[in-house]
Amino acid sequence: MPYMISMRGVDKFYAGEKPALVDVNVEIEQGEFVFLVGHSGSGKSTFIKLLLREILPTRGTIVVAGQDLMRLKSWKVPYLRRNIGCVFQDFKLLPNKTSYENVAFALEVIGRSRHVIRTQVPEVLRLVGLEDKMDSYPDELSGGEQQRVSIARAFVNRPPLLLADEPTGNLDPQTSLGIMSLLSRINKTGTTVLVATHDREMVDSMRRRVIALENGKVIRDQDRGVYGYDD
């Protein structure tokens, strides 16, 4: 299996701060479901930003979806991001657009045709279970529903890689479970899913691969792992 994500000897230092990441070596295969766990400040956010090529590492090489990020020209970065779906804790929905319009917007701005938009948006909204809420605005939806819209937006372009940064951080346990099973279903379609989280129950119940970060170092990387911190 080719790697979806490959990080070799990656260091990231911000000027005047303690190292954010130190000598990270991680390989994630196509179709894997991986948890990235650690306290706040352990380097999770830096990890995600590096994959999105929002920042470049101080040292080391990163390959994502076949692209060597060190050599990727900056004007090509948007094309890399079309291969990476993104989900965040705060949903990042546009308040003046309906669910349908929020998802359609993601296709519109990468120049997809009207026809593609009209067929794919309802389909993906059905997939996340929101076929009845297509015309609702974000403030008419619950937190879990808003996160489903944001997952629909991340997945509508069928990216090979889905990154989720604390996707259940603002949600109650019941709703979180629904979101996780949705991500798991997306993973079953062959999409690689990487979830950064500090939701202990979730990680322990799912029994997936866990990469644990502490002070910028990978301290543990095990298949079918648990959250494993004592906090």
| Listed ranges 38-46, 100-108, 179-187, 209-217: which one lies at the site for other proteins (CB under 8 A) | 100-108
Give the C-alpha distances (Å, rounded to integers) separating 166 from 28, 58, 200.
19, 25, 12
| Listed ranges 63-71, 82-90, 127-135, 183-191: which one lies at the site for other proteins (CB under 8 A) | 82-90
Residue 197: name the closest of 168, 225, 228 by CA.
168
By beta-carbon proximity to other proteins, the closer residue of 106 and 211 is: 106
Determine which residue in the list 14, 94, 123, 132 makes contact with other proteins, applying CB under 8 A: 94
CA distance 47 to 59: 13
Determine which residue in the list 109, 139, 174, 224 makes contact with other proteins, applying CB under 8 A: 109
Exposed/middle/buried for 16, CB within 10 Å: 0-12, 13-18, 19+?
Answer: exposed
State which of positions 124-163 bind other proteins (CB under 8 A): 153, 157
By beta-carbon proximity to other proteins, the closer residue of 23 and 101 is: 101
Query: Total residues contacting other proteins (rule CB under 8 A)?
Result: 21
CA distance 231 to 229: 6
CA distance 109 to 137: 20
By beta-carbon proximity to other proteins, the closer residue of 75 and 230 is: 75
Closest distance between other proteins and the C-beta of residue 231, in Å? Answer: 31
CA distance 216 to 11: 9
| Listed ranges 22-30, 86-94, 187-195, 201-209: which one lies at the site for other proteins (CB under 8 A) | 86-94
